[in-house]
Structure 1
């Protein structure tokens, strides 16, 4: 019988719920631009604030994971994230929206570090890769949030949309959190964990690989809807499907990713994935009408799908690092790509075009292609057995 089946389902549910929140942000940005009457540059600054909140909080939750375990950290972050989307919708002016977005970014960032660390703990306990499928559940949540978000906002308004998402998210937490894997270290082990950055260069180089892999994902999340609506004349409901197409194909490929990694190895899987992502981004950038661009984002999602899970799994198993430390470095660097870099895209979009930007992002993926040999630590055959954890 497979050990810890409840913990496997619980951590998958957390990825799904986090993806629901993040996906629900995608159609909200054009709505905020309209409500607050702001330009792409100001919206880009808003996305930057979201990223600052995330990358500031991520190292703190990495340290908390190392000291108290991922189960404690993910509970705290998940409940902190619960009201944030509603706060953004209720904030009356630009500065209050910025404050709510900062809190939103910090909460989802802390949750991301902790739930990825919990997924690594489940992988170790089961001696089997699950990271890609966990991120597949995140993509399903993103698909639901982004795909339905534009239509729901159109029907019942921005606040009604946020209230529905918040209620669904809260119900999911009540069901999932009691069943997550309890991986708290012993008292002696926790006291021995140094709260400092690792001295080995390996986590930082893997972090660079994750950074370049996640910048295109962030550019699709935050700007695909704006690209389709403003440069191609798509409706709000259709524009939301830019990220939804990417999230949907990512979900399918991530559910296949663990088996692909087992059959082909992490390095080969990463290389093929990178080449497919480059082709999809190029197609989206060269498209001359919305449906073709959406198809390009869908192809990009096929490639992006397993790049980040492989990097995270590799980082969570770097030899000689305490649990959560290496992963917090890589997630912080990686999510600076998905959260900070898109803020610069808003400024670039006013001086060039989103079409050119997406083509440039395809070229950026040459970096993870060249660094792909570092993914070998994500293959379980080369790792010693780890002591199993307990279910909560």
Structure 2
């Protein structure tokens, strides 16, 4: 709690908010590139899900179980990644996971059965989850050093990377096979990691802190036991992240299928659904720092959850493609800042362990999402199944309101 209060007094409208040294600026740029790469690669896989579904002969429910591999692999590695970040540093772990993610993205298109697809997605999810914990841990340290709530800007890069990946995926969906497309993404990922990795490995946010704060920051590198109160608050933020990650996963993994299967959209237009969703998330996150400084974290969380819930009702149940796309856009705007705020506050309270714990719970949303939506789609319909996103967005808004008592934010 003292660490969070210390950060909060330093963050808004401070005279030092725009005085970050050049080393922090370079570090911020490198970290932003990795966030963008993460979103770009993930979206490249997402837009090929319909083609891989057809390739493997999966039904909605069996595809949901296979997609469970992404989230299961992520959750399994997340707590381990927190320990690795404490031992080797979050920057080094980010670079290694960038390499692994780039290599593993080519594997799903090489499968011919649902079982094989699930197994390779387990590997893909492990690299994806590890990279997310490491990046967010590095971002929490950088936010502390810069004394501004810039966490949403990193997640904006993820969203814009996702928008670009989905947009390019939609353009090549009718021309390239999934195998060719995903193999090309492997090359792009390895190239970007090779170019940007050295800048990330050579920088450390704590080096720019005053001596007293640097000692506090360095103490986060050592394993420490969270108090019962801190653990409860971290879990609260983790559940908020879970509710919103469920929505992000639903749009990512089922949005294109909903547009193509239920509304008969073309492959390119179906891919545009996630691209538009990611665009609006990116725009929302670019304004996140201003929103947090002006309205505070609680109002931002509550308003975001309510907006996402309304948008997803349209996205799920609208009878026309353009209305569905509008709903996806509104949902993206609402979800934009909830996950980064929740993970950032958990990290401010408990360091890499807090980031890992909140992220693990958050990706539990993606763990539950694919099979739940898949089974509900078989029992009822995919549009009905997608309305569960609205329900969980409302839960996130309610918990965000409750969180004001936990941290006085």
User: Which residue in the other structure is 1:270 paired with?
Assistant: 301
Equivalent residue for 1:2, pick from 17, 20, 24: 20
Unaligned runs of 5+ in 1: 383-392
Shift of 1:127: 0.8
The answer to whether structure 1 residue 302 and structure 2 residue 344 are counterparts is no
Partner of 2:80: 60
Q: Secondary structure at the match of 1:240?
A: helix
Residue 223 of structure 2: aligned partner: 193
Give 1:361 shift. 2.0
> Are positions 1:112 and 2:132 aligned together?
yes
Alignment of 1:1-392 (within 5 A): 1-3=19-21, 4-180=24-200, 181-182=203-204, 192-194=222-224, 199=228, 200-318=231-349, 321=350, 323-373=351-401
Rounded Cα–Cα distance in structure 2 between residues aligned with 1:67 and 1:228? 45
Deviates more, 1:172-181 or 1:283-292: 172-181
CA gap 1:378/1:242 in 2 versus in 1, 3 angstroms: farther
1:87 CA displacement: 1.8
Worse-superposed segment, 63-72 or 43-52: 63-72
CA deviation profile, 1:25-73 (whole Å, cap 9, x unmatched):
2111111111111111111011111111110011110111123221122
1:334–1:220 Cα change, 3 Å = same
Change in Cα spacing, 1:123 to 1:228, as seen in structure 2 (3 Å) is: same
Structure 1 residues 375 and 67, CA gap change in structure 2 (3 angstroms): farther
Q: Measure how far apart 1:92 and its partner are.
A: 4.4
Provide the C-alpha distance between the structure 1 equivalents of 2:368 and 2:226, rounded to a whole number of angstroms: 21
| 1:281/1:7 CA distance change after superposition, 3 Å | same
SS at match of 1:230: helix
Q: Tell me the number of residue pairs that the alignment of Structure 1 and Structure 2 aligns.
A: 376
**2:399 & 2:219 partners in 1: Cα distance?**
33
**How far does residue 350 in structure 1 lie from its aligned partner after superposition?**
0.6
Cα 1:375/1:247, change in 2 over 3 Å: farther
Contact 2:67 2:118 (C-alpha < 8 Å) held by counterparts: no
| More moved, 365-374 vs 211-220 | 365-374
Q: What is the alpha-carbon distance in structure 2 between the residues aligned to residue 40 and residue 138 of structure 1?
A: 27
TM-score by length of 2: 0.86
SS in 2 for 1:216: helix
TM-score (norm 1): 0.90
| 1:339-385: CA deviation from partner (whole Å, max 9, x where unpaired) | 43222211110111222223232122222212214656999x98xxx
1:41–1:347 Cα contact (<8 Å) kept: yes
Which is further off, 90-99 or 281-290? 90-99
Partners of 2:161 and 2:368 in 1: how far apart?
Answer: 22
Unaligned runs of 5+ in 2: 1-18, 207-213
Alpha-carbon offset, residue 190 of structure 1: 8.0
Work out the CA distance in 1 between the residues paired with 2:161 and 2:386.
24
Going from structure 1 to structure 2, the CA distance change for 1:174 and 1:110 (only over 3 Å counts) comes to same
- The secondary structure found in structure 1 opposite 2:287 is helix
Contact 2:277–2:329 under 8 Å retained in 1: yes
Q: 1:98 to 1:197 in 2, by over 3 A?
A: farther
Distance of 1:88 and 1:293 partners within structure 2: 28
Aligned residues of 1:279 and 1:300 also touching (Cα < 8 A): yes
Structure 1 residue 116: Cα displacement = 0.6
